[in-house]
Amino acid sequence: MKSSKKFTSIRQQVYLLLKEMTKIIWDLLNFLPAGMIAASLSYVYRRCGKTTCKCTKGEKHGPYPSIQINVKNKKTIKMIKKNDVDEIEKKVTQYKEYQDGLAKMNKLYKKIHKLLQEARDENLEECP
Ligand SMILES: [Zn+2]
């Protein structure tokens, strides 16, 4: 096996990427015990249904906390209690951060894959 300058540089890059990847993996696994909710928090305004209420003229009631969840690729809004907002917001944020971590992992994996291909090409020999 040749040990060109380029190959040495690839090894160093892969080493650093793996280190970064390992950190992300452990961060992700440490997230799990806190719990996550796959949703986004939003506030909605509603009409109450009384014909004499100001809400019929556009001044709707609210804001009421709710979460948007995807059920079978369909957006659904679920109302939540005000007392649960902080807890749910925390879990929604953790889900988002987990997803971000997975996306970072994917980018790192692609970089490593590309470097390994370069390393292979660097060491390819002609058929004798
Ligand atoms: Zn009303």
Q: Tell how far the Cα of 48 is from the centroid of ligand 1, in angstroms.
A: 4
Q: What's the token pair of residue 22?
A: 């390992």
Domain that holds residue 47: 5-122
pLDDT of residue 63: 94
C-alpha 60 to ligand 1 mean position (Å): 6
Expressed in angstroms and rounded, the spacing between residue 79 Cα and the centre of ligand 1 is 17
Whether residue 78 is contained in a domain is answered as yes
Overall pTM > 0.85: no
Output the CA 40–ligand 1 centroid distance in Å: 26
In a domain, 62, yes or no: yes
* Per-residue pLDDT at 128: 86
**Which residues, other chains included, contact 50 with Cβ-Cβ below 8 Å and sequence gap of 6+?**
56
Ligand 1 center to 67 CA (angstroms): 22
Q: How confident is the model at residue 81 (pLDDT cuts 50, 70, 90)?
A: very high
128 in a domain, yes or no? no
Please give the single-letter amino acid code of residue 55.
C
For 8-25, the pLDDT digits (tens) are 999 999 999 999 999 999
Q: Give the burial string for 22-45 (b: 16+ CB within 10 Å, else e).
A: eeeeeebeeeeeeebbebebeeee
Q: Which long-range contacts (CB under 8 A, 24 or more apart) does 94-103 make?
A: 94/31, 94/34, 94/35, 94/36, 95/36, 95/37, 95/38, 95/39, 97/31, 98/28, 98/31, 98/36, 101/24, 101/27, 101/28, 101/31, 102/28
70 inside domain: yes
127 within domain boundaries? no
Q: Determine, yes or no, domain membership for 82.
A: yes
**C-alpha 61 – ligand 1 centre gap (Å):** 6
Residue 69 domain-assigned? Answer: yes
- Domain assignment present for residue 105? The answer is yes
Q: Determine the distance separating the centroid of ligand 1 and the alpha carbon of 50, expressed in angstroms.
A: 6
Query: Percent of the chain at pLDDT above 70?
Result: 98
The label of the residue with tokens 């060109």 reads 4
Domains of the chain: total: 1
The amino acid sitting at 82 is K
